[in-house]
Structure 1
Amino acid sequence: MPPLRFEDIARAARHIRGAVRHTPCRKSFQLSAITGAEVFVKLEQSHYTGSFKERGARYALSQIAKKHADNPKFKGVIAASAGNHALALSWHGPQLSLPITVVMPTLAPLAKVGRCRQLGANVIVHGAHILEAYQHSQTPEFEGWEYLNGFDHPDIIAGAGTLGLEVDEQVEDIDFCIVPVGGAGLIAGVALALSTVRPSCQVLGVEPERCASFQAALLAGTPVDTPTRPTLADGLAVPKVGANAFEVAKDIVKDTVSVNERQIAIAMLRLIETEKMVIEGGGAVGLAAVLPGGPLHERVQGKRIVLPLCGGNIDTTVLGRVLERGLAADGRIVKFVATISDRPGGIAGLSAVIAANGASIRDIYHERAWTHTAIDLVRIKCVIETTSEAHANQVHLALSKEIGVHAVQWNAAD
């Protein structure tokens, strides 16, 4: 018997109605112009706790509450999570009179740890990563607590699938729904829902290339441990997809692609600039795949597509770093090293070329002691702001012409 049927998603939709926000799905004219597709964005970051995880959490918790209504040995629900799943449980558990304990690894953002406590959960910070947090949740001290997996429990998958039902109601004639993939619970639920009610719509998956665990599972024919490296899409960095999720998704997800860190950073930047939305890396990978240069860009030309923006929980400090990286990847912050005269007027000449070409100096640093050239020369490290990659190339050409091509090292490493 399959771990999940369409009827389970329909049942989940009835149970969470009124308790979980029905999120908007609106057309983005600017993203449509940039990508060449007709783009609709599903605003999952507008849930109270900032991610789609509330769908599965609410449904699964309601079923647990019903199951243990007369069980005196039942103590509550426990889960290991670094963020969004923990937040969703912390919000919906008290509403259903369920005690919630979340074990969060030390890498979990302090803001999320604090927010879970504010919402009433018992938060235990333990372990260097999510696996160690999970192992702690399975120790004898938590006997009587029911563990709730954040992406592979059938009720979690069913709840996530309600996103697909909403998309079907909100957008007509969809060609593609492009879904971020981590543990594969979301794409499994959405693909099952849409393949049933809208079989003409193809569901495509997008993973960070630094943790492409769903593609690895497809190649192996079963979930396998996948090497993982740090990624901007940290919410998708699940080394092994869920067995139930994989069983549901493997035959109905039409294709899955990977995006790199540069593409993710630019996608996050585009969402801030065009939609005025702060979306975490995991929620932005769908857009990353369809932007120019992305693996799905050519495939979606002229098509009507839906991009679920799965979450908006990102620390302010991390956001600042992401914006810097996105601007650099977009060719709008450029670093170069130039060797110029150390006599009066040397820097003035350099600045004049930059100003004449419409760029702005962001940072400048002189290096004299480690310059192995003539004593009257100085090495300048400079960061400038430009409007585009084409503008940056214009400035580069002008500097090379004025100072000498061999004296200007563009985007040079320190």
Structure 2
Amino acid sequence: MLTLDQVYHAAYVLKGVIRETALIHAPLINPESQIYLKTENLQITGSFKVRGAYYKISQLTEEEKAKGVIACSAGNHAQGVALAAAKNGIRSLICIPDSAPISKVEATKSYGAEVCLVKGVYDDAYQKACELQEESGATFIHPFDDPQVIAGQGTIGLEILNQLPDVDAVIVPVGGGGLISGVAYAVKSLNPNCKVYGVQASGAPSMVRALADKQVQALKSVSTFADGIAVKCPGETTFELCSKYVDEIVTVTEDEIATAILTLIEQQKLIAEGAGAVAVAAAMFNKVDVKGKKVVCLLSGGNIDVTILSRVITRGLLKAGRSGDLVIAMMDKPGQLKDVSAIIADLGGNVVSVHHDRGGENTGINDCYLHIRMETRNHEHLEQIRRAIIDAGYHIKNM
């Protein structure tokens, strides 16, 4: 089982292999608390996963190394295993769900691993990896349910306590539970008064359910763009450690995650993937008690596909009231668009797209709909523009 000596040994082994990532003060994330960001999104391979993968592989016997390693991953663990195997001069085969971002798949191949794409989600890739492991005799490197992997992730907890000794709380993303198990074990062992909170996507609450039911059970399905934590079933080892060392695990919505990613880009100039931003989302939307406290949000990874990032930014702007859509019913006569545009412009809004719709069997012969998308400052600004358009005699359709 996991020991503090093992976590310290992992930190020793990892010296010179990984970065001790910076702890950045981010006062605007939640002005009622002192928020710091542990930037594992800037780790080599763009994720914390290399810590556990490298430590596990470094402890293999020569006989085990000769047979190679096999792993399954949504992408970040894959890159960690691939890099660790390459540095140790051994062969690696990684099973990745076919829904994983292309950027993660290509990055894994670039580190020298052989990739097997599997239809479905992480758990389907796990089943395939188990089958291939039995056939080949390679060592399976579990992404989270392994004491040595957990010890490697626990080195983040040691770094946080060195960087901010008087930290009041640490907020950690949770998928299968390897990261929070290691961090919580290290932090609670050295500072029992520090709170450790976990965060899952509301569409993949596997550890939340496990702790509520006091047993591990697989979810029927998961649905979240935070692919790094889209895990149907947490581990038995991680479940036990979370039960003992974690104070609470909460969930955040897709819109809250998108808003957190956008906030990190604008305020901190940092790119985080969906899984990497959930801790910030929890702090921003007060999902855990952070008021008046020194809080570290762990940014677990930054490997987000650029096409997904584009959609996330759009969603985040809508959630924050920075972008808004209006559908206005009006008479189809000259000057209507000019009048509506003038109202928006006078109030400081910026129209970015307009669609004029005359058709529709439910509209009058002389009626039309004006679809407008505009940039605004916040929800209050958007509502001010809405109110002004209504006061001018126009009817806004509910969307």
Same fold at TM > 0.5: yes
Q: How far apart are the structure 2 equivalents of 1:374 and 1:26? A: 58
Q: How far apart are the structure 1 equivalents of 2:332 and 2:281? A: 44
Q: Are 1:20 and 2:18 matched, yes or no?
A: yes
In the alignment, what sits opposite 1:284?
Answer: 277
- In structure 2, what residue type is equivalent to 1:8? Q
Q: Are 1:30 and 2:18 matched, yes or no?
A: no
Q: Any conservation in 1 of the 2:40–2:46 contact (CA below 8 Å)?
A: yes
* Deviation by residue 1:210-241 (Cα, 9 ceiling, x = unmatched): 11111111122121112443213221111111
Q: Are 1:409 and 2:397 matched, yes or no?
A: yes
Q: How far apart are the structure 1 equivalents of 2:25 and 2:336? A: 52
Q: Any conservation in 2 of the 1:228–1:237 contact (CA below 8 Å)?
A: no
* Deviation by residue 1:321-378 (Cα, 9 ceiling, x = unmatched): 0000000011111111111221111111111111111111111111112053332221
Q: Is there any run of 5+ residues in structure 2 with no aligned partner, and where? A: none
In the alignment, what sits opposite 1:91?
Answer: 83
Structure 1 outlier segments of 4+, above 4 Å: none
In the alignment, what sits opposite 2:348?
Answer: 358
Q: Secondary structure at the match of 1:138?
A: helix
Q: Are 1:172 and 2:141 matched, yes or no?
A: no
Moved more, 311-320 or 219-228: 219-228
Q: How far apart are the structure 2 equivalents of 1:131 and 1:18? A: 33
Q: Is there any run of 5+ residues in structure 1 with no aligned partner, and where? A: none
Q: Any conservation in 1 of the 2:122–2:231 contact (CA below 8 Å)?
A: no
Q: How far apart are the structure 1 equivalents of 2:148 and 2:204? A: 25
Equivalent residue in structure 1 for 2:191, among 187, 192, 198: 198
In the alignment, what sits opposite 1:4?
Answer: 2
Distance change (3 Å), C-alpha of 1:122 and 1:325: same
Q: How far apart are the structure 2 equivalents of 1:134 and 1:241? A: 12
Q: Any conservation in 2 of the 1:35–1:290 contact (CA below 8 Å)?
A: no
Q: Are 1:367 and 2:365 matched, yes or no?
A: no
Q: Any conservation in 2 of the 1:232–1:264 contact (CA below 8 Å)?
A: no
Cα distance, 1:177 vs structure 2 = 0.6
Moved more, 363-372 or 324-333: 363-372
Distance change (3 Å), C-alpha of 1:168 and 1:208: same
Moved more, 375-384 or 391-400: 375-384
Q: Are 1:302 and 2:302 matched, yes or no?
A: no
In the alignment, what sits opposite 2:207?
Answer: 214
Q: Secondary structure at the match of 2:353?
A: strand
In the alignment, what sits opposite 1:314?
Answer: 304
Equivalent residue in structure 1 for 2:53, among 57, 66, 85: 57
* Deviation by residue 1:227-261 (Cα, 9 ceiling, x = unmatched): 44321322111111111111122111111111111
- In structure 2, what residue type is equivalent to 1:408? I
Percent same amino acid among aligned pairs? 36
Q: How far apart are the structure 1 equivalents of 2:363 and 2:51? A: 64
Q: Are 1:121 and 2:121 matched, yes or no?
A: no
- In structure 2, what residue type is equivalent to 1:62? S
Q: How far apart are the structure 2 equivalents of 1:129 and 1:255? A: 26
Q: Are 1:390 and 2:354 matched, yes or no?
A: no
Q: Are 1:275 and 2:271 matched, yes or no?
A: no
Q: TM-score if structure 2 supplies the norm length? A: 0.96
Give the RMSD, CA atoms, in angstroms: 1.5
Q: Are 1:237 and 2:242 matched, yes or no?
A: no
Q: Secondary structure at the match of 1:211?
A: coil
Equivalences, count: 398
- In structure 2, what residue type is equivalent to 1:156? V
